[in-house]
């Protein structure tokens, strides 16, 4: 077990180094940050001097090894755009993204599972058809269209909810802020979290529905019916439990992509999270932030994958036996 974990951690470090290197190579194509940092009056010599000072003239490999060396010491440099340490900026933005992702995940589960069960049990009612066809819209409409649509309906026309920002936030410790403790914070999170959750919601709904339909045809359900159990006990006690395994797997993996791909939602709603920080860094060619963000997202994926792998290990006894065989 320990050997297995160590092996995975070792692999993870390799993956992250690789991601960091690829992103460094890509940065060469993002453009020149120096132009954004100096005024248009700067002479060519001034620009060259700044490039030299920032080490942008060095070969990619040299820049990369410098980045890794600094990262190991725990600092990622200073943002070219905001003149603040990247570490602090990410620490400040992380809570916003995590709150958004957390709320979206909860929403997706809380709505996706019941709707999936309903449509699985009552396949041919008009309500099921309505839910299914509108869920199709949820996956096929691009996120920014949904976001803008929600803004125009709920902010501009109905004037109910704010169109941008995170509302009032309360500081908990250090740089950790939360919008969950204020009314305006709750109001602000509604539209972005709906926008972000729609895709996952549809995914969960459809998985639960198809799993439910499959499970209902199995022998043990037939046996349960033969025993004369109530519909309720069969549907929720026996069938649902078995449909949840793939749902948990998918949700786990989707959380990673929610964190990584909240960029668009954050941009539309001016949600001050990490994705938003990243997209602005790209516009500015703010290399220190881009590098740190890439590594951080890689880290999230690696950790989540590791946890999922370990969960399989714990949940599925068959895996354990096979492992002992192969290791032994």
Partner 1 sequence: MYLHSRAPKHTISNVFIISEDENQPREEANMRGFIFKGIFVVFLACVMVTPATAENVLRWASQGDPLTYDPHSANESPTIGASTQVYEALINRNWKLEKEPSLAVSWKIVNPTTWEFKLRKGVSFHDGTPFTAEDVAFTVKRANGETSEFRNYIKSVVETKIIDDYTIQLITSGPNPILPDQLTYVFIMSKKWCEKHGVMEATSFKDKEETYAVRHANGTGPFMLQLREPDIKTILVKNPNWWGLKQNPHNIDKIIYTPITNAATRVAALLSGEIDFLLDPPLQDLGRIKKNPDLKVQQTAQIRTIFYGVDQGIKELRSSNIKGKNPFKDPRVRKAMHMAIDIDAIHKKVMRGMSVPANVMTPPGVHGYPEDLDKQRPPYNPEKAKKLLAEAGYPNGFEVSLDCPNNRYNNDEKICQATVGMLGKIGINVNLVAQPKTLHFPKITGRKTDFYMLGWGVATLDSHYVFTYLLDSEGPWNGSMYHNPRVDELTRAMEVEMDLGKRDKMIREVWEIITEEQVYIPLHHQVIAWGMSKRLEMPMEPNDQPQFRWARLK
Residue from the set 21, 102, 164, 176 that interacts with partner 1 by CB under 8 A: 164
End-to-end CA distance of the chain: 12
Q: Which is nearer to partner 1, 120 or 179 (CB)?
A: 179
Number of residues that bind partner 1 (CB under 8 A): 54
- Closest distance to partner 1 from the beta carbon of 283 (Å): 7
Q: Distance (Å, rounded) from C-alpha 269 to C-alpha 212?
A: 36
Please give the C-alpha separations between residue 231 and each of 125, 154, 292, in angstroms, as whole numbers.
Answer: 18, 40, 53
Contact between 31 and partner 1 by CB under 8 A: the answer reads yes
- Closest distance to partner 1 from the beta carbon of 172 (Å): 16
- Contacts of residue 35, defined as CB under 8 A and 6 or more positions apart, other chains included, come to 47
Residue from the set 165, 190, 216, 305 that interacts with partner 1 by CB under 8 A: 165
- Closest distance to partner 1 from the beta carbon of 99 (Å): 14
The upper half-sphere exposure of residue 10, i.e. CA atoms within 13 Å in the direction of its Cβ, equals 6
- Closest distance to partner 1 from the beta carbon of 210 (Å): 36
Contact by Cβ (8 Å): 110, 193: no
Contact by Cβ (8 Å): 27, 302: no
Stretch that binds partner 1, among 46-54, 109-117, 300-308, 310-318 (CB under 8 A): 46-54
H/E run at residue 152: none
Contact between 173 and partner 1 by CB under 8 A: the answer reads no
- Closest distance to partner 1 from the beta carbon of 82 (Å): 5
| Binding to partner 1 in span 80-139, by CB under 8 A | 80-85, 88-89
Pairing of β 170-173 and β 176-178: antiparallel
Contact between 40 and partner 1 by CB under 8 A: the answer reads yes
Q: Which is nearer to partner 1, 1 or 60 (CB)?
A: 60
- Contacts of residue 320, defined as CB under 8 A and 6 or more positions apart, other chains included, come to 313
- Closest distance to partner 1 from the beta carbon of 263 (Å): 11
- Closest distance to partner 1 from the beta carbon of 71 (Å): 13
Alpha helices in the chain, H assignment, sequence order: 2-27, 33-37, 44-54, 60-73, 86-121, 126-140, 143-150, 183-215, 219-226, 231-232, 240-261, 263-268, 274-284, 287-315, 317-327
H/E run at residue 179: none
Residue from the set 16, 97, 119, 166 that interacts with partner 1 by CB under 8 A: 166
Q: Which is nearer to partner 1, 50 or 304 (CB)?
A: 50
Residues, the chain: 328
Contact between 42 and partner 1 by CB under 8 A: the answer reads yes
Question: Residue 63 corresponds to which tokens in the numbers above?
Answer: 């820049």
Question: Residue 13 corresponds to which tokens in the numbers above?
Answer: 């470090």
- Closest distance to partner 1 from the beta carbon of 4 (Å): 38
Residue from the set 127, 136, 283, 321 that interacts with partner 1 by CB under 8 A: 283
The residues binding partner 1 (CB under 8 A) are 30-44, 47, 50, 53-54, 75, 77-78, 80-85, 88-89, 144, 148, 151-152, 155-156, 159, 162-166, 267-270, 272, 276-277, 279-280, 283-285
């Amino acid at each position: 077990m320990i050997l297995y974990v160590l092996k995975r951690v070792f692999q993870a470090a390799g993956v992250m180094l690789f991601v960091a290197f690829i992103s460094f190579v890509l940065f060469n194509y993002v453009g020149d940050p120096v132009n954004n940092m100096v005024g248009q009056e700067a002479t060519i010599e001034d620009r060259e001097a700044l490039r030299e000072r920032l080490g942008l003239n060095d070969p990619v490999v040299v820049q990369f090894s410098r980045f890794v060396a600094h990262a190991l010491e725990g600092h990622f440099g200073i943002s070219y755009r905001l003149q603040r340490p990247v570490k602090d900026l990410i620490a400040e933005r992380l809570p916003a993204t995590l709150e958004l992702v957390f709320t979206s995940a909860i929403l997706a589960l809380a709505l996706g599972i019941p709707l999936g069960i309903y449509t699985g049990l009552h396949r041919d009612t008009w309500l099921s058809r309505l839910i299914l066809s509108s869920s199709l819209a949820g996956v096929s409409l691009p996120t920014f269209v949904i976001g803008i649509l929600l803004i125009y309906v709920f902010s501009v026309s109905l004037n109910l909810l704010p169109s941008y920002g995170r509302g009032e936030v309360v500081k908990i410790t250090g740089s950790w802020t939360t919008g969950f403790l204020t009314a305006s914070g709750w109001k602000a999170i509604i539209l972005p979290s709906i926008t972000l959750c729609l895709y996952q919601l549809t995914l969960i709904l459809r998985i639960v529905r198809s799993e439910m339909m499959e499970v209902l045809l199995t022998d043990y359900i037939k046996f349960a019916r033969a025993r004369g159990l109530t519909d309720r006990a069969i549907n929720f006690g026996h069938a649902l439990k078995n449909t949840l395994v793939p749902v948990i797997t998918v949700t786990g993996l989707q959380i990673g992509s929610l964190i990584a791909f909240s960029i668009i939602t954050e941009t539309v709603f001016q949600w001050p999270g990490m994705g938003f920080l990243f997209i602005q860094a790209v516009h500015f060619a703010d290399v220190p932030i881009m590098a740190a963000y890439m590594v951080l997202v890689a880290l999230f994926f690696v950790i989540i994958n590791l946890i999922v792998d370990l969960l399989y290990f714990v949940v599925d006894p068959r895996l354990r036996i096979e492992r002992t065989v192969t290791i032994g």
